[in-house]
Each structure stands twice: as C-alpha cells, then as structure tokens.
A and B are shown apart, each in its own frame.
Chain A
C-alpha cells in the first residue's frame, strides 16, 4: 500500500538498509517509516535532494512507558503528492539527544527547540539552542514528559525572563514593546533596535499565552477535546476544530457524510472571508485610510451575523464534531447564506475599489516590509505570507479534504513579498472563496450530518491538515486508552511565520511596523498554545 502512494519509498528503504525498522500505512493520507538510529539526517537529505521534500513539522512524543523511548516525528510532504510521510526515530531515554537540522533548514529552528524545552531532549549542533517556549526564568521542567503532572505548582519566578541581544553603537536605541500592547491584541514582547527611524533588528519573545494546551489534550475524552481544539486560536476556531476532527476520523478510518463535508468546506471558507476582509480594512487604517476600516469591520460584522445564523455562534464554534457536523441547515438558513454572500460580493468589490483608488494608501503599502522569496523558502513560510513571496503551498489543493476535491484551488502567487502583495493575496483569496461558496450553496443539504464513531483502537495515530486562513494547520494525534487522547501535536501556521516578520521589518521605519505586523496578522495563542 505504501509504495503505491509514495513510489520512491522502496528505493529509500533499500538505501537506508538496516536503519529501517518498519513501514506502516493505515490510511491513504499518510505513511509511517520508523528508523532505528536516532540520526535522521541521511534520510531527510536524500528525500530533500531527490524528491524535493518539505519538512512540514517536527515534534516529539514521550513513549517511555509503552516503548521504552522517546519518539521524534518528522512530517514530510512532496510536491504533487497528497500523501504525507512521517519519519520516526527512537531516542534513548538514558541519552536523550537528537541531531539538529536547523543549520540547513532554518524553518525548523523553533520547532526543534520546543522539543528540547517540552521533553528535555538535548539538541546537537543547533546554532542557537537557547530556550524558546519556556522563558529563561522557568525552573528546569519538561511539561510534556508523561511524568510531569499537569497540575504541578511551580515555584515563583526568579531572575531574568529573557536576555536580549544589546543594541550597541552611537545613536542606536532599544525600544521595548509589550507584552501588554497599545491596541486590542494578544500579548508578546518585541524588542526593536533602531538607529533613528529605521529598524536595525527586531527580537521576539513569544509564549506569553502558553496555557498548557497540548498537555490538556493528553487524557482528554475525544469528544470534549474538540472544544479544546476550537480554543487554540479564536479566529481559527473552525479550522483548528476541523483539523482535529479530521485526525480522529482518519485514526478511526471513517469517511464523513457528503453533506457534512460540504458544510465544513463552506464554514472553513466563511472563516477565511471574515478574517481577510477585516484585515484588508485594518491594513489600510494602519497607513491612515481609516474609512476603509469602518467598511471592513462592517463587512466582518455581516459575516459574524451569518455565522451565528448558521452555527449559533459568531465564531463558528460548537458546529464541528467527530464524524461530521452537529446539524444540517434548513431552507431558511440556506436562503440567508446565499443572500448574504451575494450582497457581500458587491460590498467587497466596493471596499477593494476604495482602497486601490487611494494613491497615498498604495504608496505606503508598496515596497514596505519586503520578505524576499529566497528567505521565505528558507524560513518555511506558509499561507498568505508565503503566497506573497513566491511560496506556492495550499493544503486545500495539495492534500484535499472536506469537500475541496472538485474545486480548482489554484491561487495566485506573487514574488514581490511586500505589504501591498499580502493585501493582494487576501483580495484574491476572498474572491476565490466567494466563487467556491456561491457554487457550493447550490448543492443539496439533506442527509445525516454525522456518522457515529465506534471505539478507536489505542495506539492509532493520524494527521489532520487544514488550510486555515493564515495557512497550514496540522494536528497529529495518538489515541490512548478508553477513548481518550494520548498525545496531540498542534502546529499553527503562525509558528512558521513569526520569523518572517523579523526579516520583513529590517530596514523599514518604526512607524511602518504596525502595518507590516498587521499584514502578517499572526496568532500568539496559536503559537504559544
């Protein structure tokens, strides 16, 4: 089965020889290849060189009680192939170390350091092996180890939270911002080094909103965990909820009913639209074109009202469930959906015309906050920010799920990488979403909204992938005993994209920081979990 989906795998197994312990494939979406040796580098380097593999995520798992070791999982995807490959290596608990790939692949920088923080598995050869998730003043604990109790009461903080690189030189100043920001946004700390107005460099300190989410998943009953998934990032509630449900459904080897797949597709696109439209207005505001925000936020409100009529919640919460969706829609709801979409289409066009007709707005957005395509590729940037900088990734097209398969999800990709093109990507995406939505609403919405899930065998693993409005969302799960979860790994696209902000602001003036930041609009809670 595995060779049919990934034809190069036989050859790889042959070349890796006795390093390969096993290959396993339980569904058509993913193949597992377990390696004996902890050194993952040869396998990854062959796959990157010969198959253009992209490492989408890396994370660890504490399997000491079940298998006597830690496991490291590397999620790989290949251009034009919907099947993921998950490379797994065993790590000896008596010598907890693993080789770093970050020097070659800066995109793994934070993810590898997270493994070091959460599990206490030492990195070898990482260019900057400092803590990333746990702040410097946390005691030496490793919260995702199974022997760390979730309700552990930690001693009060002592010492520095984080030591920043000092800003040196005549006329060079440091500007600390946050964690409590001036606007109504999430907390994080930015330390700017500036020479006059231009920004020399920016240092980020995230994980202020870390609330133990991945640990909370462990031991949570699967049905309830859906609500936890919806609370990972408020503006991506439905995407995260769906990614989690998909992972469970794949572990259970079930297909959701067609009506549920169609409804999920519609709701995922509605989430994309309500976020993009408000962002477009907010970006214009950050360069002084305030009226655009009044219209943008009015249009978001229009979507929130629609969300509420379709799901009972303005953020689309409480609708997705394991096996499908909670309920189907009546004729009156479909009518409201169709009418709102038609009205929205015209309104959105007028908003875009308004912004694009403003020369001063365009002037401020063009060539501001440039992220070069080469940098975007190296840093593993995904989603909106990636598409504005030449990175052509879209989970809807590359790994079709829900009801996306019949639709052509070719989205435009730009090479310029400035704020202006991140706005253009959003405009294109809203238009594409509206096209899809107006087609999808013409279909039938009758039938069972979900199918019940029978007991899932403990130990089953699966990956759920969704193109959230920011980009690639991954949920990887392992089922535990009694219908509970053993492990859930969450990768929000923001985790990939924060380093892009650091690159994009360099050399720009500090008054442009808000608009550059808004053009990425990353989630703190999704990053920090």
Chain B
C-alpha cells in the first residue's frame, strides 16, 4: 500500500490542460497539409504519390480541376515532399472535425499551359474552417454544456466496424491519466442502450454492417454518431470493395467526422466537442 501511494505522489499530476489550454504538439507532428493553391504549379506529382487518392486531378482540354479530400488523407506528408515550390506545407493543425462531409473537400480550378505542365489558378473552394476560437470557447464551457444538455454526463459507445485497431489505440488513450476524458463527465459505456453517442471506426466491413446497424438502432434518441479516422470517414486506404462498404455514413447517418490516421486523442476530444455543439443547436430548449 505504501508503495502504491508513494508511486502516486511521486508521479504527481500528469493530466493535460487541453482543450482549455493549447495542446502541446511537437514540431515533427504531421498534421493537416496546407495547400497554397495560388502558387501550386503542378498538382500531378502530389497526386502520383498520394497513397489513398486524397488528391485527384481532372483535366479537360485546357482546364484542370484539383480536388483535395481531407477525409481520405492519412497525413503521410508525401505530397509536400513531391511538390517543389512549397505549395504544400505540412502544418501542426489537428482540429479538423466537421459536421458536414463536404467541408473536408477542397477544390481548385486552373487553366493549363499548352504543354500541360503549368497551371494557373482561376478559382478555389474552401474546405474546413479553422475551428480554434470556437473550440477554445467550447473547451471552457464544456463541463457547463454537458451538464446542461446531458444531465452532467455524456455516455459513449465505441464501435469498431472493421478498423485496423489504430483508432482504438487512440480512443483508449482518451482514458489514460494524461487525457483523462472522464474529467468532463464523458465516459465509455459497455452497451449502446446506455449511450448518447456512437464513436465508430471503419471502414465498415460487409461482415460488420448488420452489427453496426443493430447497435445504432439500440441507441436511444437523441443520439449522435461520430465517424473516426480516414477509414471511418471514407473507407480510407481500403475504400470500397467486395468486403468493405467504405465510410460509416454508407450505413448510418453521421453527425461529425474526425480526420486522422489515427486522429490523436486531442483531435478525438475536439470532434466530440463539435458533436456536443451540434446537439445543443438541435435542441433549442436546452
């Protein structure tokens, strides 16, 4: 007993302040690739190296459309290495969760030079908006929000609908003393019948479709569904095939998407906050 207490006191408090204070992210972390569309001379090299097809190019005559999908991105950084003019830069941004799948997709239209090598920007469409100020506010008001909306607690049922177990490692990490998600009144429960939210990882396999549907139906309303990771959003590197149905929204309606491969614990926390915010909007009486 003395040993246990001694070890506990020796260790002290290790819990992070996120989301109330800023997250401590090392410089080497590969977060959201930032695309400088105006200075991007040629999208083809990046398209060629992207392992999941998150960057795609459609050429028609002298026009080129480039589409970037953060919902497919595995944050490998190869696109930045393949693009010489620093038009793509890897940032430390990880707070990428959105309610609308379309917000994860950027596109740009270019006119092409005669030999097709140079492109010049005509227009582009924005993707995810920087969520930071809203999230920080949400962080401070998190406890308050949960207490008002959900009777002091948010119960989450995690469903692995076919993942590689990478996302599960990070979801489990939310329970460790560093991220300690229970300090917000958020806890993981054993049954969907006790849950307010389903945290679903993917891709949804053909063999897990029915189990996911039954879990969804067993969750009382109002319920939230959060799709986790590139595979949960879009099928990721596995995509759609004879055994994989793709993203979670192919089977059940999804409220929030959290990009990452896997999303780091802070990113998961931010996604859960966005989902709570969405519920607050939907319940005007709360």
Measured CB to CB, the residues of A under 8 A from B are 135, 141, 143, 148-154, 157, 179-180, 182-187, 207-213, 215-216, 223-224, 226-228, 231-235, 237, 291, 294-295, 297-298, 300-301, 304-305, 308-315, 317-318, 333, 350, 353-354, 357, 523-525
Task: Tell me how far the C-beta of B31 lies from the nearest C-beta in chain A, rounded to whole angstroms.
Answer: 9
- Cross-chain contact of B173 among A235, A297, A333 (Cβ < 8 A): A297
Known: A298-B177, A301-B176, A317-B261. A208 touches B169 (CB 8 A): no
A308 touches B28 (CB 8 A): yes
Interface 1/0 per residue, B36-79 and A, CB below 8 Å: 00000000000001011000000000000000000000111100
Chain B residues, CB < 8 A from A228: 51, 237
Known: A182-B191, A297-B177. A312 touches B30 (CB 8 A): yes
Q: Does B264 contact A (CB under 8 A)?
A: yes
Task: Tell me how far the C-beta of B103 lies from the nearest C-beta in chain A, rounded to whole angstroms.
Answer: 24
Task: Tell me how far the C-beta of A298 lies from the nearest C-beta in chain B, rounded to whole angstroms.
Answer: 5
Q: Does B178 contact A (CB under 8 A)?
A: yes
Interface size on B, residues (CB 8 A): 61
Q: Which of B122-173 contact A (CB under 8 A)?
A: 158-173
Q: Does B247 contact A (CB under 8 A)?
A: no
- Cross-chain contact of A308 among B29, B175, B192 (Cβ < 8 A): B29
A210 touches B190 (CB 8 A): no
Other CB < 8 Å A-B pairs besides A179-B211, A208-B162, A231-B231, 14 of them?
A: A187-B162, A209-B207, A211-B162, A215-B241, A224-B51, A231-B237, A234-B164, A234-B169, A235-B169, A314-B170, A317-B76, A318-B75, A318-B77, A353-B3
A525 touches B26 (CB 8 A): no
Task: Tell me how far the C-beta of A286 lies from the nearest C-beta in chain B, rounded to whole angstroms.
Answer: 14
Known: A212-B241, A291-B8. A223 touches B168 (CB 8 A): no
Q: Does B215 contact A (CB under 8 A)?
A: yes
25 A-B pairs within 8 Å (CB atoms) are namely A135-B207, A141-B242, A179-B211, A182-B190, A184-B160, A186-B160, A208-B205, A209-B162, A210-B205, A210-B207, A210-B243, A211-B238, A213-B238, A232-B164, A235-B165, A235-B169, A291-B7, A297-B172, A301-B173, A312-B28, A313-B29, A313-B261, A318-B75, A350-B7, A524-B165
A208 touches B208 (CB 8 A): yes
Chain B residues, CB < 8 A from A233: 164-165
Chain B residues, CB < 8 A from A523: 165
Chain B residues, CB < 8 A from A180: 159-160, 192, 211, 215
Chain A residues, CB < 8 A from B190: 182-183
B243 touches A208 (CB 8 A): no
- Cross-chain contact of B76 among A154, A215, A298, A318 (Cβ < 8 A): A318
Chain B residues, CB < 8 A from A298: 11, 14, 176-178
B163 touches A234 (CB 8 A): yes
Chain A residues, CB < 8 A from B270: none
- Cross-chain contact of B163 among A215, A310, A525 (Cβ < 8 A): A525
- How far is A298 from B177 in the complex, measured between Cα atoms in Å? 6
Chain B residues, CB < 8 A from A295: 7, 11
Q: Which of B105-134 contact A (CB under 8 A)?
A: none
Chain B residues, CB < 8 A from A151: 240-242
- Cross-chain contact of A237 among B52, B166, B205 (Cβ < 8 A): B166
Chain B residues, CB < 8 A from A237: 166
B210 touches A157 (CB 8 A): yes
Task: Tell me how far the C-beta of A281 lies from the nearest C-beta in chain B, rounded to whole angstroms.
Answer: 10
Known: A300-B176, A354-B3. A308 touches B164 (CB 8 A): no
Dominant secondary structure of chain A at its interface with chain B: loop
- How far is A180 from B191 in the complex, measured between Cα atoms in Å? 9
- How far is A315 from B75 in the complex, measured between Cα atoms in Å? 12
Q: Give the A-B pair count, Cβ closer than 8 A.
A: 178
- How far is A322 from B4 in the complex, measured between Cα atoms in Å? 46
Chain A residues, CB < 8 A from B26: 305, 308-309
A234 touches B28 (CB 8 A): no
Chain B residues, CB < 8 A from A232: 164
> Can you name the residue of chain B whose Cβ is closest to the Cβ of A282?
B172
B51 touches A179 (CB 8 A): no
Task: Tell me how far the C-beta of A212 lies from the nearest C-beta in chain B, rounded to whole angstroms.
Answer: 4
- How far is A292 from B28 in the complex, measured between Cα atoms in Å? 30
Chain B residues, CB < 8 A from A149: 242
| 4 closest Cβ pairs, A-B complex | A234-B166, A182-B190, A297-B176, A234-B165
> Can you name the residue of chain B whose Cβ is closest to the Cβ of A314?
B264
Chain A residues, CB < 8 A from B208: 179, 187, 208-209
- Cross-chain contact of A297 among B49, B75, B175, B240 (Cβ < 8 A): B175
Interface 1/0 per residue, B14-41 and A, CB below 8 Å: 1000000000001011100000000000
Known: A184-B171, A298-B177. A227 touches B237 (CB 8 A): yes
Chain A residues, CB < 8 A from B262: 234, 314-315
- How far is A228 from B175 in the complex, measured between Cα atoms in Å? 28
Chain A residues, CB < 8 A from B240: 151
Chain A residues, CB < 8 A from B261: 313, 317
- Cross-chain contact of B238 among A212, A304, A317, A354 (Cβ < 8 A): A212
- How far is A304 from B25 in the complex, measured between Cα atoms in Å? 12
Known: A143-B243, A227-B52, A234-B164. A184 touches B172 (CB 8 A): yes
- How far is A216 from B51 in the complex, measured between Cα atoms in Å? 12
A223 touches B49 (CB 8 A): yes
Known: A186-B168, A224-B51, A234-B168. A301 touches B3 (CB 8 A): no
Interface 1/0 per residue, B236-251 and A, CB below 8 Å: 1110111110000000
Task: Tell me how far the C-beta of B270 lies from the nearest C-beta in chain A, rounded to whole angstroms.
Answer: 16
- How far is A135 from B244 in the complex, measured between Cα atoms in Å? 15
- How far is A183 from B7 in the complex, measured between Cα atoms in Å? 27
Q: Does B188 contact A (CB under 8 A)?
A: yes
B165 touches A294 (CB 8 A): no
Chain A residues, CB < 8 A from B264: 314
Chain B residues, CB < 8 A from A227: 51-52, 74, 76, 237
- How far is A506 from B252 in the complex, measured between Cα atoms in Å? 38
Task: Tell me how far the C-beta of B217 lies from the nearest C-beta in chain A, rounded to whole angstroms.
Answer: 12
> Can you name the residue of chain B whose Cβ is closest to the Cβ of A157?
B210
